[in-house]
Amino acid sequence: MQANTQNKLNVATPLHVRFAAMNLIRGSDREQRLFLPECVEDYVGADNMVRFIDAFVDSLELAAAGFAFPKENSQNRGRPGYDPACLLKLYLYGYFHQIRSSRRLEAECSRNLEVIWLMRKLAPDFKTIADFRKDNAAAFKTVLRKFNQVCQKLELFGGELMALDGTKVKGQNAPDRNWSLTKLEKQNQKLEEQLEKYLKALELEESQPAPQPAPLSAEQLRQKIQQINEQQQQNQQKVQQIEALGQTQLSMTDPDSRSMKGAHGHVVGYNVQGVVDAKHHLLVITEVTNAPVDQGQLVPMVQSAKAELPAMEGADIVADGGYYKAEDVKTCQEMGMQVHLPEVNNSPSERAGLYGKKAFEYDQQRDLYRCPAGQELTKRREVLDKGRRLFSYDNPAACEQCALKGYCTKSGYRTVSRWEHEDILEQMTARVAAEPEKLAKRKTLIEHCWGTLKWILGGGFLLKGFKKVGAEVSLAHLVYNLKRALNVVGLEKLLAALGPDRGSGPEKSEKSGRAGVLGLCERAACALLQVLQWACWSISWEPRPTE
Ligand code: SF4
Protein backbone atom coordinates (compact mmCIF):
# COMPACT_ATOMS: atom_id res chain seq x y z
CA MET A 1 0.00 0.00 0.00
CA GLN A 2 2.87 2.34 0.95
CA ALA A 3 4.79 1.39 -2.17
CA ASN A 4 1.72 2.17 -4.32
CA THR A 5 1.39 5.66 -2.79
CA GLN A 6 5.11 6.28 -3.42
CA ASN A 7 4.70 5.25 -7.08
CA LYS A 8 1.72 7.53 -7.56
CA LEU A 9 3.71 10.41 -6.11
CA ASN A 10 6.61 9.73 -8.46
CA VAL A 11 4.34 9.72 -11.51
CA ALA A 12 2.39 12.82 -10.54
CA THR A 13 5.33 14.96 -9.38
CA PRO A 14 7.04 16.95 -12.18
CA LEU A 15 10.68 16.09 -12.87
CA HIS A 16 12.04 19.48 -11.79
CA VAL A 17 10.35 19.07 -8.38
CA ARG A 18 11.47 15.44 -7.94
CA PHE A 19 15.12 16.32 -8.58
CA ALA A 20 14.99 19.70 -6.88
CA ALA A 21 17.31 18.54 -4.15
CA MET A 22 20.01 17.50 -6.60
CA ASN A 23 22.86 19.84 -7.44
CA LEU A 24 22.24 20.56 -11.16
CA ILE A 25 22.65 23.54 -13.49
CA ARG A 26 19.17 24.89 -14.20
CA GLY A 27 17.69 27.79 -16.14
CA SER A 28 16.24 30.83 -14.44
CA ASP A 29 12.57 31.47 -13.71
CA ARG A 30 10.80 32.46 -16.93
CA GLU A 31 8.84 35.19 -15.19
CA GLN A 32 11.83 36.78 -13.54
CA ARG A 33 12.60 40.36 -14.66
CA LEU A 34 15.96 40.46 -16.45
CA PHE A 35 18.50 43.21 -16.97
CA LEU A 36 19.04 42.29 -20.65
CA PRO A 37 21.34 44.61 -22.59
CA GLU A 38 19.28 47.32 -24.24
CA CYS A 39 21.85 47.85 -26.98
CA VAL A 40 21.97 45.26 -29.84
CA GLU A 41 25.71 45.84 -30.00
CA ASP A 42 26.06 44.09 -26.63
CA TYR A 43 24.65 40.81 -27.98
CA VAL A 44 27.64 40.25 -30.26
CA GLY A 45 31.06 39.61 -28.76
CA ALA A 46 34.19 41.39 -29.93
CA ASP A 47 35.54 38.13 -31.38
CA ASN A 48 32.40 37.19 -33.30
CA MET A 49 32.94 36.46 -37.00
CA VAL A 50 29.84 38.47 -37.94
CA ARG A 51 31.96 41.53 -37.26
CA PHE A 52 34.17 40.56 -40.18
CA ILE A 53 31.20 39.97 -42.51
CA ASP A 54 29.86 43.38 -41.54
CA ALA A 55 33.16 45.22 -42.00
CA PHE A 56 34.06 43.32 -45.19
CA VAL A 57 30.77 44.09 -46.94
CA ASP A 58 30.92 47.71 -45.80
CA SER A 59 34.38 48.00 -47.38
CA LEU A 60 33.06 46.92 -50.82
CA GLU A 61 31.96 49.15 -53.67
CA LEU A 62 28.80 47.17 -54.37
CA ALA A 63 27.61 49.22 -57.34
CA ALA A 64 31.00 48.77 -59.02
CA ALA A 65 30.87 45.05 -58.21
CA GLY A 66 27.67 44.81 -60.26
CA PHE A 67 24.99 44.71 -57.54
CA ALA A 68 21.65 46.14 -58.58
CA PHE A 69 20.47 49.02 -56.43
CA PRO A 70 16.76 49.78 -56.10
CA LYS A 71 15.56 52.62 -58.34
CA GLU A 72 15.12 55.93 -56.53
CA ASN A 73 11.80 57.65 -56.89
CA SER A 74 12.38 61.28 -57.88
CA GLN A 75 9.27 62.33 -55.94
CA ASN A 76 10.26 60.32 -52.88
CA ARG A 77 7.16 58.15 -53.17
CA GLY A 78 6.76 54.52 -52.26
CA ARG A 79 8.69 52.38 -49.84
CA PRO A 80 12.47 52.51 -50.41
CA GLY A 81 14.24 49.27 -51.26
CA TYR A 82 16.65 47.36 -49.00
CA ASP A 83 20.33 48.22 -49.05
CA PRO A 84 22.10 45.46 -51.08
CA ALA A 85 24.85 45.46 -48.42
CA CYS A 86 22.39 44.19 -45.79
CA LEU A 87 21.17 41.36 -48.01
CA LEU A 88 24.72 40.41 -48.99
CA LYS A 89 25.67 40.24 -45.30
CA LEU A 90 22.66 38.02 -44.67
CA TYR A 91 23.70 35.59 -47.43
CA LEU A 92 27.32 35.44 -46.27
CA TYR A 93 26.15 34.72 -42.73
CA GLY A 94 23.63 32.14 -43.99
CA TYR A 95 26.10 30.20 -46.15
CA PHE A 96 28.64 30.30 -43.31
CA HIS A 97 26.08 28.48 -41.14
CA GLN A 98 24.62 26.23 -43.85
CA ILE A 99 21.42 28.29 -44.05
CA ARG A 100 20.71 28.83 -47.75
CA SER A 101 16.94 28.81 -48.09
CA SER A 102 15.39 32.30 -48.32
CA ARG A 103 12.55 31.26 -45.99
CA ARG A 104 15.00 30.08 -43.34
CA LEU A 105 17.03 33.27 -43.73
CA GLU A 106 13.85 35.29 -43.25
CA ALA A 107 13.18 33.42 -40.00
CA GLU A 108 16.75 34.00 -38.77
CA CYS A 109 16.24 37.77 -39.15
CA SER A 110 13.81 37.80 -36.27
CA ARG A 111 15.15 35.08 -33.96
CA ASN A 112 18.93 35.05 -34.30
CA LEU A 113 20.70 37.75 -32.28
CA GLU A 114 23.77 37.69 -34.55
CA VAL A 115 21.57 38.24 -37.61
CA ILE A 116 19.57 40.93 -35.82
CA TRP A 117 22.88 42.69 -35.12
CA LEU A 118 24.16 42.16 -38.67
CA MET A 119 20.91 43.30 -40.28
CA ARG A 120 20.38 46.20 -37.83
CA LYS A 121 16.98 44.71 -36.99
CA LEU A 122 15.88 44.61 -40.64
CA ALA A 123 13.73 41.58 -41.47
CA PRO A 124 13.08 41.39 -45.24
CA ASP A 125 10.58 38.83 -46.50
CA PHE A 126 11.78 35.64 -48.19
CA LYS A 127 10.86 36.90 -51.67
CA THR A 128 13.13 39.95 -51.31
CA ILE A 129 15.92 37.70 -50.01
CA ALA A 130 15.49 35.16 -52.83
CA ASP A 131 15.29 37.85 -55.54
CA PHE A 132 18.51 39.44 -54.33
CA ARG A 133 20.49 36.22 -54.92
CA LYS A 134 18.76 35.60 -58.23
CA ASP A 135 19.17 39.16 -59.58
CA ASN A 136 22.78 39.60 -58.48
CA ALA A 137 24.06 36.11 -59.36
CA ALA A 138 27.00 37.38 -61.43
CA ALA A 139 28.15 39.92 -58.82
CA PHE A 140 28.92 37.31 -56.12
CA LYS A 141 32.06 36.32 -58.03
CA THR A 142 33.43 39.86 -57.65
CA VAL A 143 32.82 39.70 -53.89
CA LEU A 144 34.71 36.40 -53.78
CA ARG A 145 37.58 37.99 -55.74
CA LYS A 146 37.72 40.85 -53.23
CA PHE A 147 37.96 38.39 -50.35
CA ASN A 148 40.72 36.47 -52.12
CA GLN A 149 42.59 39.79 -52.41
CA VAL A 150 42.33 40.18 -48.62
CA CYS A 151 43.78 36.66 -48.29
CA GLN A 152 46.58 37.57 -50.71
CA LYS A 153 47.35 40.65 -48.62
CA LEU A 154 47.75 38.34 -45.61
CA GLU A 155 50.00 36.04 -47.71
CA LEU A 156 47.68 33.10 -47.21
CA PHE A 157 48.31 31.82 -50.74
CA GLY A 158 51.68 30.16 -51.37
CA GLY A 159 51.43 29.98 -55.17
CA GLU A 160 53.91 27.07 -55.29
CA LEU A 161 51.86 23.88 -55.28
CA MET A 162 48.23 23.69 -56.45
CA ALA A 163 45.83 20.79 -56.74
CA LEU A 164 43.09 20.65 -59.35
CA ASP A 165 40.03 18.45 -59.05
CA GLY A 166 36.33 18.32 -59.80
CA THR A 167 33.30 17.24 -57.83
CA LYS A 168 29.79 16.44 -59.02
CA VAL A 169 27.02 18.32 -57.22
CA LYS A 170 23.34 17.48 -57.59
CA GLY A 171 21.18 20.03 -59.38
CA GLN A 172 17.45 20.80 -59.33
CA ASN A 173 16.65 18.17 -61.96
CA ALA A 174 15.28 14.74 -61.07
CA PRO A 175 16.99 11.82 -62.87
CA ASP A 176 13.71 10.83 -64.57
CA ARG A 177 13.48 14.34 -66.08
CA ASN A 178 16.82 13.91 -67.83
CA TRP A 179 17.09 12.22 -71.22
CA SER A 180 20.06 11.15 -73.26
CA LEU A 181 19.98 9.74 -76.79
CA THR A 182 21.08 6.34 -75.41
CA LYS A 183 18.37 6.39 -72.73
CA LEU A 184 15.70 7.26 -75.33
CA GLU A 185 16.94 4.58 -77.69
CA LYS A 186 16.72 1.93 -74.95
CA GLN A 187 13.25 3.09 -73.99
CA ASN A 188 12.11 3.01 -77.62
CA GLN A 189 13.33 -0.57 -77.92
CA LYS A 190 11.30 -1.58 -74.87
CA LEU A 191 8.22 0.22 -76.20
CA GLU A 192 8.63 -1.52 -79.54
CA GLU A 193 8.70 -4.94 -77.80
CA GLN A 194 5.59 -4.10 -75.75
CA LEU A 195 3.79 -2.80 -78.84
CA GLU A 196 4.50 -6.02 -80.71
CA LYS A 197 3.18 -8.07 -77.79
CA TYR A 198 -0.07 -6.07 -77.55
CA LEU A 199 -0.61 -6.08 -81.32
CA LYS A 200 -0.28 -9.89 -81.42
CA ALA A 201 -2.70 -10.27 -78.50
CA LEU A 202 -5.19 -7.95 -80.21
CA GLU A 203 -4.94 -9.81 -83.49
CA LEU A 204 -5.58 -13.09 -81.70
CA GLU A 205 -8.54 -11.68 -79.85
CA GLU A 206 -10.11 -10.20 -82.99
CA SER A 207 -9.60 -13.41 -85.00
CA GLN A 208 -11.61 -15.51 -82.51
CA PRO A 209 -15.33 -15.92 -83.44
CA ALA A 210 -16.55 -15.74 -79.84
CA PRO A 211 -14.84 -13.67 -77.09
CA GLN A 212 -12.51 -15.84 -74.98
CA PRO A 213 -11.38 -15.09 -71.38
CA ALA A 214 -8.07 -13.17 -71.63
CA PRO A 215 -5.97 -11.04 -69.21
CA LEU A 216 -6.76 -7.88 -71.25
CA SER A 217 -9.88 -7.21 -73.29
CA ALA A 218 -9.67 -5.91 -76.89
CA GLU A 219 -10.61 -2.42 -75.68
CA GLN A 220 -7.89 -2.45 -73.00
CA LEU A 221 -5.32 -3.62 -75.56
CA ARG A 222 -6.27 -0.76 -77.92
CA GLN A 223 -5.77 1.71 -75.04
CA LYS A 224 -2.34 0.24 -74.26
CA ILE A 225 -1.33 0.50 -77.92
CA GLN A 226 -2.45 4.12 -78.05
CA GLN A 227 -0.44 4.94 -74.90
CA ILE A 228 2.68 3.37 -76.42
CA ASN A 229 2.19 5.31 -79.66
CA GLU A 230 1.91 8.57 -77.69
CA GLN A 231 5.03 7.71 -75.68
CA GLN A 232 6.92 6.98 -78.89
CA GLN A 233 5.86 10.34 -80.33
CA GLN A 234 7.04 12.15 -77.18
CA ASN A 235 10.38 10.34 -77.34
CA GLN A 236 10.74 11.34 -80.99
CA GLN A 237 10.15 14.99 -80.05
CA LYS A 238 12.82 14.72 -77.35
CA VAL A 239 15.32 13.28 -79.83
CA GLN A 240 14.59 16.17 -82.21
CA GLN A 241 15.04 18.68 -79.36
CA ILE A 242 18.41 17.15 -78.38
CA GLU A 243 19.60 17.18 -81.99
CA ALA A 244 18.42 20.77 -82.53
CA LEU A 245 20.40 21.88 -79.44
CA GLY A 246 23.47 20.01 -80.67
CA GLN A 247 23.68 18.27 -77.29
CA THR A 248 23.68 14.66 -76.13
CA GLN A 249 21.25 15.16 -73.23
CA LEU A 250 18.05 16.99 -72.43
CA SER A 251 17.23 18.11 -68.86
CA MET A 252 13.62 19.23 -68.53
CA THR A 253 13.75 21.11 -65.17
CA ASP A 254 17.22 22.63 -65.25
CA PRO A 255 18.30 22.70 -68.91
CA ASP A 256 21.96 23.37 -68.02
CA SER A 257 22.34 20.33 -65.75
CA ARG A 258 23.64 17.01 -67.09
CA SER A 259 23.63 13.41 -65.97
CA MET A 260 27.14 12.45 -64.90
CA LYS A 261 28.92 9.73 -62.96
CA GLY A 262 29.71 10.81 -59.41
CA ALA A 263 31.50 9.10 -56.54
CA HIS A 264 28.23 7.43 -55.45
CA GLY A 265 26.56 6.62 -58.76
CA HIS A 266 24.99 8.86 -61.37
CA VAL A 267 23.80 12.39 -60.50
CA VAL A 268 22.01 14.98 -62.59
CA GLY A 269 23.77 18.20 -61.79
CA TYR A 270 27.02 20.08 -62.37
CA ASN A 271 30.73 19.34 -62.37
CA VAL A 272 32.34 21.91 -60.04
CA GLN A 273 36.03 22.39 -60.77
CA GLY A 274 38.40 23.87 -58.22
CA VAL A 275 42.09 24.75 -57.76
CA VAL A 276 43.38 24.70 -54.18
CA ASP A 277 46.61 26.21 -52.90
CA ALA A 278 48.79 23.94 -50.76
CA LYS A 279 49.95 26.57 -48.23
CA HIS A 280 46.73 26.83 -46.20
CA HIS A 281 44.33 24.76 -48.35
CA LEU A 282 42.57 27.89 -49.63
CA LEU A 283 40.61 27.64 -52.86
CA VAL A 284 42.08 29.85 -55.57
CA ILE A 285 39.33 29.42 -58.15
CA THR A 286 36.11 27.47 -58.67
CA GLU A 287 34.19 27.12 -61.92
CA VAL A 288 30.90 25.42 -62.73
CA THR A 289 30.73 23.21 -65.82
CA ASN A 290 28.31 20.58 -67.04
CA ALA A 291 31.04 18.47 -68.64
CA PRO A 292 30.49 14.87 -67.51
CA VAL A 293 34.28 14.23 -67.39
CA ASP A 294 37.30 16.21 -66.19
CA GLN A 295 39.34 15.76 -69.36
CA GLY A 296 39.74 19.10 -71.12
CA GLN A 297 39.38 21.18 -67.92
CA LEU A 298 43.11 21.45 -67.12
CA VAL A 299 43.91 24.43 -69.37
CA PRO A 300 40.82 26.61 -68.62
CA MET A 301 41.23 26.04 -64.88
CA VAL A 302 44.94 26.82 -64.86
CA GLN A 303 44.28 29.96 -66.94
CA SER A 304 41.57 31.13 -64.50
CA ALA A 305 43.77 30.36 -61.49
CA LYS A 306 46.66 32.28 -63.04
CA ALA A 307 44.44 35.30 -63.66
CA GLU A 308 43.26 35.13 -60.05
CA LEU A 309 46.68 34.60 -58.52
CA PRO A 310 49.43 36.08 -60.71
CA ALA A 311 52.00 34.99 -58.08
CA MET A 312 51.57 31.36 -59.12
CA GLU A 313 53.99 31.70 -62.06
CA GLY A 314 55.99 28.46 -62.29
CA ALA A 315 53.78 26.65 -59.78
CA ASP A 316 53.42 22.87 -59.68
CA ILE A 317 49.91 21.70 -60.62
CA VAL A 318 48.84 18.25 -59.46
CA ALA A 319 45.71 16.51 -60.69
CA ASP A 320 44.39 12.99 -61.20
CA GLY A 321 44.60 10.91 -64.39
CA GLY A 322 41.15 12.12 -65.51
CA TYR A 323 42.78 15.39 -66.67
CA TYR A 324 45.41 13.66 -68.81
CA LYS A 325 45.44 15.19 -72.27
CA ALA A 326 48.76 15.56 -74.08
CA GLU A 327 47.86 18.92 -75.67
CA ASP A 328 46.77 20.34 -72.29
CA VAL A 329 50.06 19.35 -70.66
CA LYS A 330 51.91 21.16 -73.45
CA THR A 331 49.75 24.32 -73.12
CA CYS A 332 50.29 24.44 -69.34
CA GLN A 333 54.03 23.98 -69.85
CA GLU A 334 53.97 26.94 -72.26
CA MET A 335 52.15 28.98 -69.61
CA GLY A 336 55.05 28.30 -67.27
CA MET A 337 53.26 25.70 -65.10
CA GLN A 338 54.76 22.37 -64.10
CA VAL A 339 52.01 19.78 -64.43
CA HIS A 340 52.12 16.51 -62.43
CA LEU A 341 49.68 13.87 -63.68
CA PRO A 342 49.83 10.14 -63.06
CA GLU A 343 50.70 8.00 -66.05
CA VAL A 344 47.62 6.81 -67.91
CA ASN A 345 47.79 3.43 -69.56
CA ASN A 346 46.23 4.00 -72.96
CA SER A 347 48.47 1.57 -74.84
CA PRO A 348 46.26 -0.95 -76.71
CA SER A 349 49.19 -3.40 -76.90
CA GLU A 350 49.62 -3.41 -73.11
CA ARG A 351 45.89 -3.93 -72.64
CA ALA A 352 46.16 -6.92 -75.02
CA GLY A 353 48.91 -8.43 -72.83
CA LEU A 354 51.77 -7.45 -75.14
CA TYR A 355 54.81 -5.20 -74.51
CA GLY A 356 53.68 -1.66 -73.74
CA LYS A 357 55.36 1.50 -74.99
CA LYS A 358 57.33 1.72 -71.74
CA ALA A 359 59.28 -1.38 -72.82
CA PHE A 360 60.73 0.63 -75.74
CA GLU A 361 63.58 3.01 -74.97
CA TYR A 362 63.81 6.25 -76.95
CA ASP A 363 67.23 7.45 -78.09
CA GLN A 364 66.92 11.19 -78.50
CA GLN A 365 70.35 11.62 -80.10
CA ARG A 366 69.64 9.22 -82.92
CA ASP A 367 65.83 9.64 -82.98
CA LEU A 368 65.01 5.91 -82.77
CA TYR A 369 63.47 3.39 -80.36
CA ARG A 370 65.27 0.36 -78.92
CA CYS A 371 62.94 -2.61 -78.45
CA PRO A 372 63.06 -5.35 -75.72
CA ALA A 373 65.04 -7.56 -78.16
CA GLY A 374 67.64 -4.79 -78.51
CA GLN A 375 66.70 -4.01 -82.11
CA GLU A 376 66.49 -0.43 -83.43
CA LEU A 377 63.12 0.88 -84.67
CA THR A 378 63.63 3.86 -86.97
CA LYS A 379 61.30 6.66 -88.03
CA ARG A 380 59.30 5.72 -91.15
CA ARG A 381 56.04 7.57 -91.60
CA GLU A 382 54.21 10.67 -90.45
CA VAL A 383 50.47 10.61 -89.71
CA LEU A 384 47.92 13.18 -88.58
CA ASP A 385 45.71 11.86 -85.75
CA LYS A 386 42.95 14.20 -84.40
CA GLY A 387 45.08 17.23 -85.26
CA ARG A 388 48.24 15.77 -83.71
CA ARG A 389 51.37 15.03 -85.79
CA LEU A 390 52.58 11.49 -85.02
CA PHE A 391 55.64 9.61 -86.30
CA SER A 392 55.77 5.81 -86.71
CA TYR A 393 58.91 3.82 -85.81
CA ASP A 394 59.42 0.19 -86.92
CA ASN A 395 61.89 -2.48 -88.13
CA PRO A 396 59.96 -5.15 -90.14
CA ALA A 397 63.10 -7.13 -90.97
CA ALA A 398 64.08 -7.57 -87.31
CA CYS A 399 60.53 -8.47 -86.22
CA GLU A 400 60.31 -11.23 -88.84
CA GLN A 401 63.03 -13.30 -87.14
CA CYS A 402 62.44 -12.20 -83.56
CA ALA A 403 62.01 -14.83 -80.81
CA LEU A 404 59.96 -12.35 -78.72
CA LYS A 405 57.47 -11.57 -81.47
CA GLY A 406 54.65 -13.45 -79.71
CA TYR A 407 54.99 -11.08 -76.72
CA CYS A 408 55.30 -7.97 -78.87
CA THR A 409 52.78 -7.95 -81.69
CA LYS A 410 49.98 -9.88 -83.34
CA SER A 411 50.73 -8.30 -86.75
CA GLY A 412 53.61 -8.86 -89.13
CA TYR A 413 55.80 -6.33 -87.29
CA ARG A 414 55.61 -3.91 -84.31
CA THR A 415 55.08 -0.17 -84.77
CA VAL A 416 55.68 2.46 -82.10
CA SER A 417 54.20 5.92 -82.61
CA ARG A 418 55.55 9.17 -81.16
CA TRP A 419 53.85 12.57 -80.87
CA GLU A 420 55.93 15.48 -82.14
CA HIS A 421 55.91 16.99 -78.59
CA GLU A 422 56.29 13.70 -76.73
CA ASP A 423 59.39 15.03 -74.94
CA ILE A 424 57.03 17.26 -72.85
CA LEU A 425 55.17 14.16 -71.63
CA GLU A 426 58.47 12.40 -70.92
CA GLN A 427 59.65 15.38 -68.89
CA MET A 428 56.41 15.23 -66.89
CA THR A 429 56.87 11.48 -66.24
CA ALA A 430 60.42 12.16 -65.04
CA ARG A 431 59.16 15.01 -62.82
CA VAL A 432 56.51 12.81 -61.20
CA ALA A 433 59.08 10.04 -60.62
CA ALA A 434 61.55 12.51 -59.08
CA GLU A 435 59.00 14.13 -56.71
CA PRO A 436 56.27 11.56 -56.02
CA GLU A 437 55.32 13.31 -52.76
CA LYS A 438 53.76 16.21 -54.71
CA LEU A 439 51.29 14.00 -56.54
CA ALA A 440 50.65 12.02 -53.35
CA LYS A 441 49.59 15.27 -51.64
CA ARG A 442 46.78 15.87 -54.16
CA LYS A 443 44.08 13.97 -52.30
CA THR A 444 44.81 15.52 -48.92
CA LEU A 445 44.67 19.01 -50.46
CA ILE A 446 41.47 18.90 -52.43
CA GLU A 447 39.31 16.42 -50.54
CA HIS A 448 39.27 18.75 -47.53
CA CYS A 449 37.83 21.56 -49.70
CA TRP A 450 35.23 19.37 -51.35
CA GLY A 451 34.13 17.96 -48.00
CA THR A 452 33.44 21.47 -46.65
CA LEU A 453 31.93 22.74 -49.90
CA LYS A 454 29.53 19.80 -50.02
CA TRP A 455 28.65 20.38 -46.37
CA ILE A 456 27.78 24.00 -47.19
CA LEU A 457 25.84 22.95 -50.31
CA GLY A 458 24.20 20.04 -48.46
CA GLY A 459 21.58 18.33 -50.65
CA GLY A 460 22.82 20.00 -53.85
CA PHE A 461 22.09 23.31 -55.55
CA LEU A 462 18.91 25.21 -54.73
CA LEU A 463 18.99 27.29 -57.92
CA LYS A 464 18.89 26.45 -61.62
CA GLY A 465 21.09 27.45 -64.53
CA PHE A 466 24.81 28.18 -64.86
CA LYS A 467 24.59 31.78 -63.66
CA LYS A 468 22.65 31.14 -60.47
CA VAL A 469 24.44 27.89 -59.65
CA GLY A 470 27.68 29.87 -60.13
CA ALA A 471 26.45 32.35 -57.49
CA GLU A 472 25.92 29.51 -55.02
CA VAL A 473 29.41 28.15 -55.72
CA SER A 474 30.96 31.61 -55.30
CA LEU A 475 29.22 32.04 -51.92
CA ALA A 476 30.25 28.57 -50.77
CA HIS A 477 33.82 29.18 -51.97
CA LEU A 478 34.02 32.53 -50.13
CA VAL A 479 32.65 31.02 -46.95
CA TYR A 480 35.09 28.09 -47.15
CA ASN A 481 38.04 30.48 -47.56
CA LEU A 482 36.71 32.68 -44.75
CA LYS A 483 36.52 29.69 -42.41
CA ARG A 484 40.10 28.75 -43.30
CA ALA A 485 41.37 32.33 -42.93
CA LEU A 486 39.68 32.67 -39.52
CA ASN A 487 41.35 29.43 -38.41
CA VAL A 488 44.75 30.44 -39.72
CA VAL A 489 45.10 34.15 -38.86
CA GLY A 490 42.08 34.94 -36.70
CA LEU A 491 39.50 37.71 -36.75
CA GLU A 492 41.76 40.54 -35.63
CA LYS A 493 44.24 40.17 -38.49
CA LEU A 494 41.45 39.71 -41.01
CA LEU A 495 39.81 42.94 -39.87
CA ALA A 496 43.13 44.75 -39.95
CA ALA A 497 43.70 43.54 -43.54
CA LEU A 498 40.57 45.40 -44.65
CA GLY A 499 42.48 48.62 -44.10
CA PRO A 500 41.54 51.89 -42.44
CA ASP A 501 38.53 52.46 -44.73
CA ARG A 502 36.83 49.22 -43.71
CA GLY A 503 34.11 51.14 -41.80
CA SER A 504 31.23 49.55 -40.02
CA GLY A 505 28.42 51.73 -41.18
CA PRO A 506 27.47 55.31 -40.57
CA GLU A 507 26.98 54.86 -36.86
CA LYS A 508 30.53 53.59 -36.32
CA SER A 509 31.78 56.88 -34.90
CA GLU A 510 28.71 57.49 -32.84
CA LYS A 511 28.70 53.88 -31.58
CA SER A 512 31.67 54.27 -29.25
CA GLY A 513 30.31 57.51 -27.85
CA ARG A 514 26.91 55.95 -27.35
CA ALA A 515 28.33 52.89 -25.65
CA GLY A 516 30.62 55.01 -23.57
CA VAL A 517 28.29 57.71 -22.18
CA LEU A 518 24.74 57.38 -23.45
CA GLY A 519 24.72 53.60 -23.15
CA LEU A 520 25.88 53.74 -19.55
CA CYS A 521 23.27 56.39 -18.69
CA GLU A 522 20.53 54.33 -20.35
CA ARG A 523 21.47 51.22 -18.45
CA ALA A 524 21.76 53.04 -15.15
CA ALA A 525 18.27 54.51 -15.69
CA CYS A 526 16.84 51.07 -16.52
CA ALA A 527 18.40 49.53 -13.42
CA LEU A 528 16.99 52.34 -11.27
CA LEU A 529 13.52 51.80 -12.71
CA GLN A 530 13.72 48.07 -12.01
CA VAL A 531 14.77 48.64 -8.41
CA LEU A 532 11.92 51.13 -7.92
CA GLN A 533 9.45 48.62 -9.35
CA TRP A 534 10.62 45.87 -7.02
CA ALA A 535 10.44 48.26 -4.11
CA CYS A 536 6.81 49.07 -5.03
CA TRP A 537 5.90 45.38 -5.09
CA SER A 538 7.65 44.79 -1.75
CA ILE A 539 5.53 47.38 0.06
CA SER A 540 2.42 46.21 -1.88
CA TRP A 541 1.59 49.52 -3.58
CA GLU A 542 0.57 47.47 -6.60
CA PRO A 543 -0.02 43.73 -7.12
CA ARG A 544 3.14 41.82 -7.95
CA PRO A 545 3.06 39.44 -10.96
CA THR A 546 2.58 35.73 -10.20
CA GLU A 547 5.67 34.14 -8.69
S1 SF4 B 1 58.92 -8.12 -82.44
FE2 SF4 B 1 60.17 -6.54 -83.35
S3 SF4 B 1 59.91 -4.83 -82.01
FE4 SF4 B 1 59.16 -6.59 -80.92
S5 SF4 B 1 60.86 -7.26 -79.70
FE6 SF4 B 1 60.96 -8.35 -81.59
S7 SF4 B 1 62.24 -7.16 -82.91
FE8 SF4 B 1 61.67 -5.90 -81.25
Q: Which range is least confidently modeled, 22-31, 241-250, 444-453? A: 22-31
Taking the CA of residue 377 as reference, the ligand 1 atom at the shortest distance is 3
Residue 530 has pLDDT above 80, yes or no: no
| 58 within 8 A of 504, measured Cβ to Cβ | yes
Q: What is the tens place of the pLDDT at every residue in 272-292?
A: 999 999 999 999 999 999 999
Task: Indicate whether 531 pLDDT > 80.
Answer: no
**356 Cβ below 6 A of ligand 1:** no
The verdict on the CB of residue 368 being under 6 Å from ligand 1 is no
Cβ–ligand 1 distance for 373 under 6 Å, the answer yes
CA atoms within 13 A on the CB side of 537: 11
Beta bridge partners of 265: 262
* Local structure of 254: helix, strand or coil: coil
Q: What is the mean pLDDT of the chain?
A: 87
Check residues 137 and 539 and name the one with the higher pLDDT.
137
Closest CA to 379 of 389, 396, 390, 392: 392
Nearest atom in ligand 1 to the alpha carbon of residue 399 is 2
Check residue 400 and give its pLDDT.
93
Residue 387 alpha carbon to ligand 1 centre in Å: 29
Q: What is the per-residue pLDDT across 313-342, written as a single tens digit (0 to 9) for each?
A: 889 999 999 999 999 999 999 999 999 999
Binding site membership of 371 for ligand 1 (Cβ less than 6 Å):
yes
Answer whether residue 524 shows pLDDT above 80: no
DSSP 400-451: HT-TTHHHH-SSSS-EEEEETTHHHHHHHHHHHHH-HHHHHTHHHHHHHHHH
Q: Please report the pLDDT score of residue 209 as a whole number.
A: 67
Q: What is the mean pLDDT of residues 515-537?
A: 63
Q: Is a pLDDT exceeding 60 seen at residue 459?
A: yes
417 Cα to the center of ligand 1, angstroms: 14
pLDDT 10s digits, 463-507: 999 999 999 999 999 999 999 999 999 999 999 999 875 644 444
Does 349 contact ligand 1 (Cβ within 6 A)? Answer: no
How many helices, marked H, and strands, marked E, lie in the chain? 23, 13
Whether the per-residue pLDDT at 511 is higher than 50: the answer is no
Identity of the amino acid at 474? S
- pLDDT at 539 (0 to 100): 61
Close Cβ partners of 157 (under 8 Å, ≥ 6 residues apart): 148, 151, 277, 279, 280, 282, 284, 309, 311, 312
Determine the distance separating the centroid of ligand 1 and the alpha carbon of 324, expressed in angstroms.
Answer: 29
Residues 197-212: what's their mean pLDDT? 81
Q: What pLDDT, on the 0 to 100 scale, is given for residue 514?
A: 47
CB atoms within 10 A of CB 52: 22
- 369 CB within 6 A, ligand 1: no
Which residues are registered as beta bridge partners of 388?
385
Which residues have CB under 8 Å from 21's CB, separation 6+? none
Q: Is the pLDDT of residue 411 over 80?
A: yes
Best CA proximity match to 92, nearest among 371, 474, 519, 352: 474
How many angstroms is it from 401 CA to the middle of ligand 1?
9
Instruction: Answer whether residue 69 shows pLDDT above 50.
Output: yes
DSSP secondary structure, 78-135, as one string: SPPPPPHHHHHHHHHHHHHTT---HHHHHHHHHH-HHHHHHTTT----HHHHHHHHHH
Ligand 1 geometric centre to CA of 345 (Å): 20
Q: Say how many Å lie between the first and final Cα of the chain, rounded.
A: 36
Cα angle 507, 73, 109 (rounded to 5 degrees) comes to 45
Nearest ligand 1 atom to alpha carbon 355: 4
CA 366–ligand 1 middle distance (angstroms):
19
- pLDDT value of position 1: 44
Q: How confident is the model at residue 74 (pLDDT cuts 50, 70, 90)?
A: confident
Best residue among 347, 399, 411 to mutate for probing ligand 1, ranked by most atoms within 8 Å of CB: 399
Q: Is 405 in the pocket of ligand 1 (CB under 6 A)?
A: yes
State residue 500's pLDDT score.
73
Q: Cα–Cα distance between 301 and 296 in angstroms, integer?
A: 9
pTM of the model: 0.81
